[in-house]
Structure 1
Amino acid sequence: MGLKDNDRAEIEALRAETRPTLRAVSEGMEAHLYHAHEVLDHGFVRVVDYMGDDAAICQAARVSYGRGTKSVQNDEGLIRYLMRHWHSTPFEMCEIKLHVKLPVFVARQWIRHRTANVNEYSGRYSILDREFYIPSAEHLAAQSVVNNQGRGEALTGEEAARVLDWLKADSTRAYDHYEAMISQDGQQGLARELARMNLPANIYTQWYWKVDLHNLFHFLRLRADAHAQYEIRVYAEAICEIVKDWVPAAYAAFEDYRLGSVQLSGKGVACLKRMLAGEEVTQEGSGMSKGEWREFREVWG
């Protein structure tokens, strides 16, 4: 999978080191420190560092001196209130730094969330590893006929086999040429910053990604959604499991008010009221477009 033996040994050595601290500590998050959660065929997510916990959110909201100002029940109630009413600043007081190994095409989606600090592995200074994301057969799907950015049914038989063969062969060929271009055996060798342009988008890269909890929740709301692309969704789901242990009260509120909720437009609310009053409402009489009406019906049946 994603971690090499020497990387794993280095992480285990770091994990074995302990230091006393006076800062707020999340016991759930401590268990994740220096532990790599493997994703896809060569990827992983691991926690490098973090700041804050559920109590830090409440402390910031109340601008208090310490942790013992209110009961746990009151803290949970406050966090749910803050989440319910879309407050952001108290959640920004918690931060997490992740080390992520991911395919380049996933990284290009991920980087669109421009509210984090990122430092990526450099293909100018270092030689990229021969590691490519090759989907398993069940994740080879045709283009969706109803969504221009989605997938339809899985490919089968000879077509699926042919696509897998091409993905593997093209990746291998591109890397062979990359190695040949940068080689200095009997030639000058092309600069690494130029040779890397020949590599496909399924090659793996790595980065450190630091983000506050408010913006992380926004990332997870979009990328852990069932409609998100599978290859980024599995990373988001792995991060969800980490955040659940880090800030359990905040994550429970997020799961309830963001992941498990739906949003209605003003027209949607008006239609729902009419339907609850016993009126039969059609798309033509709803004031919604066909797309809006379809999404409305998907929620309410």
Structure 2
Amino acid sequence: MSLTPEQNAEIDELRSNPSETLRVVSEGMEKHLYHAIPVLDHGFVRVIDYMGDDAAICQAARVSYGKGTKSVQNDEGLIRYLMRHWHSTPFEMCEIKLHVKLPVFVARQWIRHRTANVNEYSARYSILDREFYIPAPENIAAQSAVNNQGRGGALEGEEAARVLEILKADSARSYDNYQAMISQDGQEGLARELARMNLPANIYTQWYWKVDLHNLLHFLRLRADAHAQYEIRVYADAICNVVADWVPAAYRAFEDYRMGAVTMSAQMVDCLRRMIKGETVDQDTSGMSAREWREFKEMIDS
């Protein structure tokens, strides 16, 4: 993980000068403020600011009750009800602002979640650092034979070494050419906004990402899932740990009703009912495609 000296100085300054506030704070989140959580080889996630806690969700749901009930159990029960029945608005009352350092190809997946406010480091004005994501050997994998979007088994031995050497060499060569093209030392050179197009997608970028809790949980449901690409999943896993400390009741409900739950089609429900009654059901009698049947079997057999 690489923080610049300026970023480290900013963190030290912020943590050494706490401010009193009249607003509600989450004790679990306070310990995460400004700390950088390492992700991948050079990346990180750090909390810059946040608003709200579990009580804020309940307050929004009840509106006229002020802070809510005095019973923690009642508050958690309400949060579970809201999560179970897909009531999203109360969760939007909590927000978080993150500073994230991540490879460009991960950022391009991440930005598909269009419900956040984003401000990214600009390579039009600044020169990007010489930092690239190079996968660990165990994360060098072949193309999946059954999923065009996924990985198969890990490459091993000489093949893994060959691929890693290509990634390292191409990254270094691209950055060398990037530097050579940029105007410096009296040379006219190429504009930064044009020179950046020669950089590979594994170079690191940074951004501030601000999002409400409802949309953050949607992001985590997709990106912390076992089927998500490893490189974005590790960022989602790091954020999950933060959210679990920030809004523990909401996160427990999220684990139960989103992460630990499954969604079945009407056909799947019908097949399950037939199986419970003792009927033998296979793909031919299920009415499902081969892929749907495989997913259904994974649900009930795991």
> TM-score, with normalisation over the residues of structure 2?
0.98
Q: Which residue of 1 aligns with 2:157?
A: 157
Q: Deviations over 1:54-111 (max 9, x none)?
A: 0000000000353253411000000000000001000000000000000000000000
What's the counterpart of residue 89 of structure 1?
89
Question: Which residue identity lines up with residue 215 of structure 1 in the other structure?
Answer: N
CA distance in 2, matches of 1:215, 1:158: 43
Pair 1:188-2:149 in alignment: no
Deviations 1:97-130 (A, max 9, x none): 0000000000000000000000000000111000
Query: CA shift at 1:10, angstroms?
Result: 2.2
3-state SS of 1:209 partner: strand
User: Aligned equivalents of 1:2 and 1:185: distance in 2?
Assistant: 27
- Aligned residues of 2:116 and 2:211 also touching (Cα < 8 A): yes
Asked whether 1:207 is paired with 2:207, we answer: yes
Deviations 1:258-293 (A, max 9, x none): 001111111111110110111111111111111100
User: Equivalent residue for 2:105?
Assistant: 105
Q: Which residue of the partner structure matches residue 226 of structure 1?
A: 226
Q: Distance in 1 between matches of 2:277 and 2:231?
A: 43
Moved over 3 A (4+): none
For 1:154 and 1:291, the matched residues in 2 are separated by 24
- What is the alpha-carbon distance in structure 1 between the residues aligned to residue 64 and residue 41 of structure 2? 46
- Distance in 2 between the 1:265 and 1:216 partners? 25
Tell me, which stretches of 5 or more residues in structure 2 are unaligned? none
Q: How do residues 45-60 of structure 1 correspond to structure 2 at under 5 angstroms?
A: 45-60=45-60
Instruction: Report the 3-state secondary structure (helix = DSSP H, G, I; strand = E; otherwise coil) of the residue aligned with 1:76.
Output: helix
Normalised to the residue count of structure 1, the TM-score between the two structures is 0.98
1:23-172 matched pairs, under 5 angstroms: 23-64=23-64, 66-172=66-172
SS of equivalent residue, structure 2 residue 187: coil
Which stretch has the larger CA shift, 254-263 or 58-67? 58-67
CA distance in 2, matches of 1:269, 1:39: 39
Residue 288 of structure 1 corresponds to 288
Question: What is the identity percentage for the equivalent residue pairs of Structure 1 and Structure 2?
Answer: 80
Asked if the contact 2:62–2:68 (Cα under 8 Å) also holds between the matched residues in 1, the reply is no
Q: What is the deviation of 1:294?
A: 0.5
CA distance in 2, matches of 1:279, 1:295: 20
Amino acid at match of 1:277: K
One-letter amino acid of the counterpart of residue 252, structure 2: A
CA contact (8 A) 2:174 2:198 kept: yes
Deviates more, 1:4-13 or 1:74-83: 4-13
Give yes or no for contact 2:59–2:68 (8 Å, CA) kept in 1. Answer: no
Mapped to 1, the partners of 2:5 and 2:154 lie a distance apart of 35
C-alpha separation in 1, matches of 2:197 and 2:11: 31
Q: Distance in 2 between matches of 1:66 and 1:30?
A: 23
| C-alpha RMSD of matched pairs (Å) | 1.0
- SS for the counterpart of 1:300 is helix
Number of residue equivalences: 301
One-letter amino acid of the structure 1 residue matched with residue 298 of structure 2? E
Does the CA contact (< 8 Å) of 2:142 and 2:153 recur in 1?
yes
SS where residue 145 of structure 1 aligns?
A: coil
1:186, distance to aligned residue in structure 2 (A) = 4.4
CA distance in 2, matches of 1:2, 1:86: 39
Q: What SS does the aligned partner of 2:146 have?
A: coil
CA distance in 2, matches of 1:64, 1:251: 24
Report the residue type matching 1:142 in the other structure. Answer: A
Structure 1 unaligned spans of 5+: none
What's the CA shift for 1:5? Answer: 3.9
Q: Give me the whole-angstrom Cα distance separating, in 2, the residues matched to 1:72 and 1:278.
A: 43
Counterparts of 1:187 and 1:21, CA distance in 2: 52
What displacement does 1:298 show? 0.7
In 1, Cα distance between equivalents of 2:68 and 2:288: 50
Amino acid at match of 1:243: V
More displaced stretch, 184-193 vs 32-41: 184-193
1:200 positional shift: 0.1
